[in-house]
Amino acid sequence: MQLYSVFAIYVLFWVTAAFIVLPIGIRSHHETGAKMIEGQDEGAPANFRPWRILLLTTLLATAAFGLFYLNYIYGWIDMDTIDFFHSRERMKDV
């Protein structure tokens, strides 16, 4: 696999991990009892910590990408492993 392909796939893992990590631990002003600023949306988080989110996102993305890359190298799971309906064999007959 070429280096820019590795980077592009890692970025996809990172963005996906960001959407998974983003809602974890977020509390609204109603849940924390904090005072809202005039004009603030009711759904705005009261305890947003971007550095924690970046760290958790990077850790999750790196672990997931590591498993993906090891599977790419060693071929633990391939198309034949996940082909539960034997569609590849049926496509050969067509």
Q: What is the pLDDT of residues 64-87, one digit of tens each?
A: 999 999 999 999 988 878 888 878
Domain hosting 87: range is 3-93
Determine the pLDDT at residue 93. Answer: 65
Instruction: Determine the Cα–Cα distance for residues 5 and 8; give it in Å rounded to an integer.
Output: 5
Specify the pTM: 0.78
Collapsing DSSP to helix, strand or coil, 28 comes out as strand
Q: What is the pLDDT of residues 11-65, one digit of tens each?
A: 999 999 999 999 998 888 888 888 888 988 888 888 889 999 999 999 999 999 9
Two tokens at 19? Answer: 């959407």
